[in-house]
């Protein structure tokens, strides 16, 4: 009865071997991505969400190593592919857009050059044809005067335009998965909304799956079908977006949600999660969230909880998830 996921990440472990020690940036992450859906990955900076996406693309820098796990895309384990096979998938089947459109485009080549490059690489077309496709794409992502823009350099475009160009580049080969790593963080609020709308629209049109990486619960609420909440390299909660928003079963998610200002409910004071993300070189023992958790007890310091299914399709990594249920009743 269950749909076959297009991408399955299983027990992914990505460690960084730095001079100061081993950083377990991603430590046993598991999730599925189904065709056409949007999966949100949310967490503070340093929670391992970007590393997860780079692991999928196998674009980690030299210090980062995937030590364990599987990434199954259309039945193939990406981690077992050769570099040449992987290159055929990158940009073609799985595309990615990055946080800072200012720095993600090469300043010395025109927008057109950079889009055409991917088209010519994967689609086996000539330069003039590629140029046509590029102009079409630019028009599709809502860039005015695409014939002119195609010959412009990145610095001649505004931030929003650049992100649109990035999207055009990512979509150039009609990928089946698009990974968007904080695509709107660096943009103005008004432009953020436009870009998100554009992405939604294009997702529908192309029928692709989208992995949306963000620290912004608002973006998640707007875009995602399902959500993975990450903390310190671990998935702490995982489930349908409605479930998570209405019935958070992990204190961290709870904290994230209550730090969003809401207009519909009267709040005395905006809550925040005390403390900061732990030092990645020396994570606390037991549950990694316990030093910041308002529900923490003795047990949390010594034992790390497993990811348990609290409801069908809704998982939480907390011993005391039921307490949150009680809280909700109040």
Partner 1 sequence: MRVETKRTLKRFFRNPSAIIGVSLLIFFTVVAIAAPLLAPPLNPMDPSRKVHDPFTMPKVTWKQEPVPPTSKADAEKAFIAKGIAKMLYEKEKEDLVPLALKVVENLSSEELYRVYAKVSPLKSKIKEYLKTVKDKLKKAGLENPDTYINSFMTNDFLLACKKALEGDENFPQVLKSLASEIPNLRKTYLIKIFKEGFPYLDYDHAISVSKEFLKVDGNVIDFLMEKGYIKRKPIRCVDYHIFGMIDGRDIFYGVVWGTRTAFRIGLIVTFFATLIGLFIGSISGYYGGWIDEVLMRITDVFLSIPFLVAAIVLTTFLGTGLDKVMIAMVIFGWMGTARLIRGNILQVKEEQFILAAKALGVRDYLIIMRHVIPNTIFPVVIQASMRMGSLVITAAALSFLGLGAPTGYADWGSLLNYSRNWLLGAQGDVFKYWFALVYPGTAMVLFVLAWNLLGDALRDTFDPRLRG
Partner 2 sequence: MTAYIIRRLLLLPLILFGVTLIIFGMLQLLGPDKLLAAYVNPNVFDKLSNEELEALKEKYGLNDPMVVRYAKWLNGVLHGDLGWSVVGKTYVKDALLSRIPYTAELALYAIFPVVGVGVWLGIVSAVHRDKFLDQAIRIFAVVGWSFPDFVFGLFVLMIFYSWLGWLPPGNYSDWAEDIIKSPNFHHITHILSIDALLNGRVDIFWDTIRHLIGPIMTISWLWWAYLLRITRSSMLEVLNKEYIRTARAKGLDERVVINKHAKRNALIPVTTVGGAMIINLFAGTVIVEVIFNRIGLGRFVAQAATQLDYAAIMGGALFYSTILVLGNLIIDVTYALIDPRIRLG
Q: 88 vs 246, which CB is nearer to partner 2?
A: 88
Using alpha carbons only, give the angle 287, 290, 294 rounded to the nearest 5 degrees: 140
Q: 156 vs 285, which CB is nearer to partner 1?
A: 285
Q: Does 74 bind partner 1 (CB under 8 A)?
A: no
Shortest reach from residue 50's CB to partner 1, in Å: 16
Shortest reach from residue 100's CB to partner 2, in Å: 6
Sign of the alpha-carbon torsion through 184, 252, 28, 281: positive
Maximum CA pair distance of the chain?
67
Give the residue, chosen from 25, 104, 141, 143, that forms a contact with partner 2 under the rule CB under 8 A: 104
Using CB under 8 A, which residues numbered 35 to 54 contact partner 1? Answer: none
Give the residue, chosen from 1, 2, 19, 261, that forms a contact with partner 1 under the rule CB under 8 A: 19
Tell how many helices (H) and how many strands (E) occur in the chain.
13, 12
The whole-angstrom separation of Cα 29 and Cα 48 is: 10
Q: Does 63 bind partner 1 (CB under 8 A)?
A: yes
Give the residue, chosen from 4, 11, 18, 77, that forms a contact with partner 1 under the rule CB under 8 A: 18
Q: 147 vs 279, which CB is nearer to partner 1?
A: 279
Using alpha carbons only, give the angle 163, 186, 104 rounded to the nearest 5 degrees: 50
Sign of the alpha-carbon torsion through 304, 309, 313, 318: negative
Shortest reach from residue 35's CB to partner 1, in Å: 38
The whole-angstrom separation of Cα 290 and Cα 304 is: 10
**97 CB-contact burial (10 Å; exposed 0-12 / middle 13-18 / buried 19+):** buried
Q: Does 121 bind partner 2 (CB under 8 A)?
A: yes
Give the residue, chosen from 61, 264, 298, 326, that forms a contact with partner 1 under the rule CB under 8 A: 61
Give the residue, chosen from 23, 29, 118, 161, that forms a contact with partner 2 under the rule CB under 8 A: 118
- For every residue of 218-284, DSSP letters joined together read HHHHHH-SEEEEEETTEEEEEEEHHHHHHS--SHHHHHHHHTS--SSS--SS-----S-PPPTTSPP
Using CB under 8 A, which residues numbered 261 to 320 contact partner 1? Answer: 279, 281
Q: 89 vs 220, which CB is nearer to partner 2?
A: 89
Residue 290 DSSP SS3: helix
Shortest reach from residue 228's CB to partner 2, in Å: 21
261-265: long-range contacts (C-beta < 8 A, 24 or more apart)?
Answer: none
Give the residue, chosen from 3, 74, 76, 88, that forms a contact with partner 2 under the rule CB under 8 A: 88
Q: Does 20 bind partner 1 (CB under 8 A)?
A: yes
- Which residues pair with residue 96 across a beta bridge? 179
Q: Which two tokens stand for residue 96?
A: 């990615």
Binding part of the chain for partner 2, among 32-40, 153-161, 287-295, 318-326 by CB under 8 A, reads 153-161
Which residues, at least 6 apart from 19, have a Cβ–Cβ distance to it below 8 Å?
none
- Which residues pair with residue 77 across a beta bridge? 72
Binding part of the chain for partner 2, among 104-112, 232-240, 295-303, 304-312 by CB under 8 A, reads 104-112
- Choose from partner 1, partner 2, none: what does 18 bind? Cβ within 5-8 Å by kind: partner 1
- Choose from partner 1, partner 2, none: what does 279 bind? Cβ within 5-8 Å by kind: partner 1
Judged by the rule CB under 8 A, the positions of this chain that interact with partner 2 are 57, 59, 61-62, 83, 87-92, 95-96, 98-100, 103-109, 114, 117-118, 121-122, 153, 155-156, 166, 169
Can you give the binding site for partner 1, defined by CB under 8 A?
Answer: 18-20, 61-63, 279, 281
């Amino acid at each position: 009865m269950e749909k076959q996921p297009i991408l399955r990440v299983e027990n992914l472990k990505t460690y960084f071997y730095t001079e100061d020690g081993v950083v377990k940036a991603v430590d046993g992450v598991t999730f599925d991505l189904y065709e056409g859906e949007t999966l949100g990955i949310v967490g503070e900076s340093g929670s391992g969400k970007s590393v997860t996406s780079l692991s999928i693309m196998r674009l980690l820098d030299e210090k980062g190593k995937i030590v364990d796990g599987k990434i199954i895309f259309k039945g193939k384990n990406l981690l077992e592919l050769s570099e040449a096979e992987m290159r055929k998938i990158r940009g073609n089947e799985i595309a990615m857009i990055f946080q800072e459109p200012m720095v993600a485009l090469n300043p010395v080549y025109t927008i057109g050059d950079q889009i055409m490059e991917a088209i010519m690489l994967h689609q086996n077309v000539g330069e003039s044809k590629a140029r046509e496709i590029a102009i079409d794409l630019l028009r599709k992502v809502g860039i005015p005067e695409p014939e002119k823009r195609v010959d412009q350099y990145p610095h001649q475009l505004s931030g929003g335009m650049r992100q649109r160009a990035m999207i055009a580049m990512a979509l150039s080969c009609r990928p089946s998965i698009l990974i968007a790593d904080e695509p709107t963080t660096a943009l103005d609020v008004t432009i953020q909304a436009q870009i998100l709308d554009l992405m939604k629209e294009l997702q529908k049109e192309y029928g692709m799956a989208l992995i949306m990486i963000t620290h912004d619960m608002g973006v998640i609420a707007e875009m995602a079908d399902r959500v993975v909440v990450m903390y310190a390299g671990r998935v702490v909660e995982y489930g349908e977006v409605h479930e998570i928003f209405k019935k958070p079963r992990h204190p961290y998610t709870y904290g994230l949600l209550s730090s969003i200002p809401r207009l519909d409910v009267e709040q005395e004071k905006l809550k925040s999660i005390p403390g900061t993300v732990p030092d990645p070189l020396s994570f606390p023992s037991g549950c990694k969230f316990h030093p910041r958790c308002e529900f923490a007890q003795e047990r949390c310091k010594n034992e790390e909880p497993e990811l348990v299914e609290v409801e069908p399709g809704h998982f939480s990594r907390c011993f005391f998830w039921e307490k949150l249920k009680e809280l909700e009743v109040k």
